[in-house]
Structure 1
């Protein structure tokens, strides 16, 4: 099974047909990110609107990741949301060096 799944939106105003142009892609699972020799396990999807965090911006000094979709910023250390549309914490995990 691919790491992403496709979800289609049905519209009652168009007779319940599939609206492929409104289809969303959700990528499940996590990826590993390394900042200053520290490894973090980060979810692929932002909790706000499923933006792909693997394409996010990493701030190495602040140890944070910014979602490319709506610019929510999360701490890699704690998962706390630092800014952006309210959506809660990011489920990040610090990994032991050498363990992927």
Structure 2
């Protein structure tokens, strides 16, 4: 969760994220876990992990990746844009959120 907090914290701190209040999830496919939280007021709040499964609530902004890719994003070995373009990271959100996130990434 620390790695995800770091990646999302950088995103939340971006001035273009001002006023963005959305639920977040990050599905870690190799760990069968989903980390849930909220992007609000320039920070990431309430991060907590739950087992992956049908009862996981659907967040406004959803990421899917392996834990290795998350760590690589955190330490700068992996660029979000290239990982997303190659399919290593999946990003799902509404069109409005995707357009806004595009400015942040």
* Normalised-by-shorter TM-score class: under 0.3
TM-score, scaled to structure 1: 0.25
Structure 1 or 2: more helix by fraction: 2
| Structure number with larger C-alpha Rg | 1
